[in-house]
Amino acid sequence: MRHAAESTTRFPGINRMENYKKFLQEILIDENRLQKRIAELGNAISNDYKDSNDLLLVCILRGAIIFLSDLSRKINIPHAMDFMAISSYGSGNRSSSGIVRINMDLTTNIYGQDVLIIEDIIDSGNTLAYVLEMLSTRKPKSLHVCTLLDKFERREVDIPIRYTGFKIPDKFVFGYGLDLDEMYRNLPFIGVVDLEKYVI
Ligand code: IMP
Ligand code: MG
């Protein structure tokens, strides 16, 4: 007869994916609410850009990848995608340093394009302020922001946001693209971390 611990070893990942339950304080936005809101955002974007032939979704890696993939499939007009990797946080650090680094730039020339930045969460605003300033020097036809989450109480720099999924309180969240030290991005909901119970 096999022990439970042994079957965990034999099928790694099955039980370990549920580890988040140990430090999940609450589910802030469940899968249904997320998907419903994303469909609404897709409709609004499709409508606002219906006359554009040059819509480019710029995904800020890595957090916005899940949002981008669901959102783009709710947009019913032709559009391109490109990716940019930014870091403003060190692993284990829970507040934005204000120091922003570009780890991977776009490959598309955005001159004359209708650029819509797709972001997972805006917190202090430092990351997006930097990205907006940098991209505007490349002279796109238009430049707007779509964020899934807005942690508005923490804002240090004012950011013009055209599309917001949800305004959320000042709590550390994870899931649906947002990581906890690079893990748990694949969870289908947005959860709040109980930082006292979360130990690596
Ligand atoms: P900002 O520069 O302070 O606006 O930080 C934006 C970035 O910080 C986001 O793109 C996220 O990667 C990260 N971030 C901010 N708040 C959270 C959170 O609650 N959970 C996970 N990542 C977060
Ligand atoms: Mg991020």
Instruction: Say if residue 4's pLDDT is above 60.
Output: no
* Cβ–ligand 1 contact at 70 (below 6 Å): no
Looking at the predicted structure, is the pLDDT value of residue 157 above 90? yes
Residue with CA nearest ligand 1 atom 16 = 123
Q: What is the pLDDT of residues 14-29, one digit of tens each?
A: 678 889 999 999 999 9
Q: What average pLDDT does the chain have?
A: 91
The verdict on the CB of residue 58 being under 6 Å from ligand 1 is: no
Range in 9-13, 70-74, 102-106 with the lowest mean pLDDT: 9-13
What's the CA-to-centroid distance between 88 and ligand 2, angstroms?
8
- Whether the predicted pLDDT of 57 surpasses 60: yes
Report whether pLDDT(69) > 70: yes
Identify the pLDDT of residue 199.
81
Ligand 1 in reach of 114 Cβ (< 6 A): no
% of the chain surpassing 90 pLDDT: 81
The pLDDT, as a whole number, for residue 96 is 60
Tell me the mean pLDDT in the region 159-177: 97
**pTM for the structure as a whole:** 0.90
Residue 181 and residue 169: Cα distance in Å, rounded? 21
Candidate from 60, 96, 164, 189 with most ligand 1 atoms within 8 A of CB, to mutate: 96
Assess whether the C-beta atom of 38 lies below 6 angstroms from ligand 1. no
- Best mutation site among 83, 117, 121, 134 for ligand 1 pocket (most ligand atoms within 8 Å of CB): 121
Q: Is the CB of 71 under 6 A from ligand 1?
A: no
Pick the CATH number of 34-186 from 3.40.50.300, 3.40.50.2020, 3.40.190.10, 3.40.50.10490: 3.40.50.2020
pLDDT tens digits, residue range 99-147? 888 999 999 999 999 999 999 999 999 999 999 999 999 999 999 999 9
- Expressed in angstroms and rounded, the spacing between residue 104 Cα and the centre of ligand 2 is 13
Whether residue 7 is predicted with pLDDT greater than 60 in this model: the reply is no
As a whole number, mean pLDDT of residues 147-170 equals 97
The residues that are catalytic are 123
Domains of the chain, by residue range, sit at: 34-186
